[in-house]
Amino acid sequence: MTLMLIILIVTIILFIWGRFTPDIIALLSMISLFIFGILDLPETLSGFSNPTVIMIAALFIIGEGLSQTGWTALAGQKFIKMAGKSTTKLLLITTLGSGLLSGVVSNTGTVATLMPVTISSAWSIGTLPSKLLMPVAFGSNTGGLLTLTGTPPNIIVNNTMLENGIEGFSFFEFALIGLPLLLIALVYFKFIGYRLLPKNKTNNKPVDISTTFHKWIEAYKVDGDYYRLRVRSVSPLLNTKIGDWNFETEHQISILRIKRRHPNRLKGNDPFIEFPTNSTEFLYHDIITVKGNTEAINALMIKFRLGLLPLEPIADELRNNLINQEVGMAEIIVTPKSVLVGRKIILGNFFKRFGVQLMAASRNNKPLTEREIKVKAGDAFLIRGIWHDIEQLKEHHENLVICGSPEGMAKTITNLTYKSYIALFALVLMITLLVFKIVPGAIAALVAAGIVLITGCVPITKAYKGISWISVVMIAAMIPMGIALQKTGTAEFIANGLVASLGSLHPVALLGGVFLLTTTFSQVINNSATAVLMAPIVIITANTLSLSAAPFMIAVAISASTAFLTPVGTTTNAMVMTGGGYKFMDYVRVGAPLLLLFLITTLLLVPLVWPF
Mean pLDDT computed over every residue of the chain: 84
CATH 3.30.70.1450 residue ranges in the chain?
219-320, 326-410
Per the rule left: phi > 0, alpha: psi between -120 and 50, beta: everything else, 110 is: alpha
pTM (two decimals)? 0.65
Pick the CATH number of 326-410 from 3.30.70.1450, 3.90.45.10, 3.90.950.20, 3.40.50.2000: 3.30.70.1450
- What class does CATH assign to 219-320? alpha beta
**Nearest Cα residue to 122 out of 592, 581, 520:** 581
Q: What angle do CA 160, 166, 168 make, to 5 degrees?
A: 70
DSSP state, 281? Answer: B
Strands (E), 353-485: 356-363, 366-368, 372-374, 380-386, 400-403
Q: What is the pLDDT of residues 244-268, one digit of tens each?
A: 998 888 888 888 889 887 766 545 5
Alpha helices (H) in 36-50, listed in sequence order: 41-44
The Cα–Cα gap between 104 and 113 comes to 13
Q: How confident is the model at residue 195 (pLDDT cuts 50, 70, 90)?
A: very high
140 vs 111: which has the higher pLDDT? 140
The Cα–Cα gap between 283 and 262 comes to 8
pLDDT of residue 563: 87
Per the CB < 8 A criterion, the answer to whether 244 and 250 are in contact is no
The amino acid present at 40, given as its one-letter code, is: D
The mean-pLDDT minimum among 70-79, 238-247, 432-441 falls in 70-79
pLDDT of residue 198: 92
How many other C-beta atoms can be found within 10 angstroms of the C-beta atom of residue 588? 14
Q: What is the pLDDT of residues 537-586, one digit of tens each?
A: 899 889 888 999 999 999 999 999 998 988 766 778 877 877 788 887 88
pLDDT of residue 267: 54
Q: What is the pLDDT of residues 2-16, one digit of tens each?
A: 898 899 889 888 877
The mean-pLDDT minimum among 59-63, 203-207, 210-214, 441-445 falls in 203-207
pLDDT of residue 41: 94
pLDDT of residue 556: 94
Q: What is the pLDDT of residues 453-494, one digit of tens each?
A: 999 888 887 788 778 787 788 778 888 887 888 788 887 788
Burial state string for 527-541 with b = 16 or more CB within 10 A and e = fewer than 16: bbbbbbbbbbbbbbb
pLDDT of residue 181: 96
Output phi, psi for 609, to 5 deg.
Answer: -85, -40
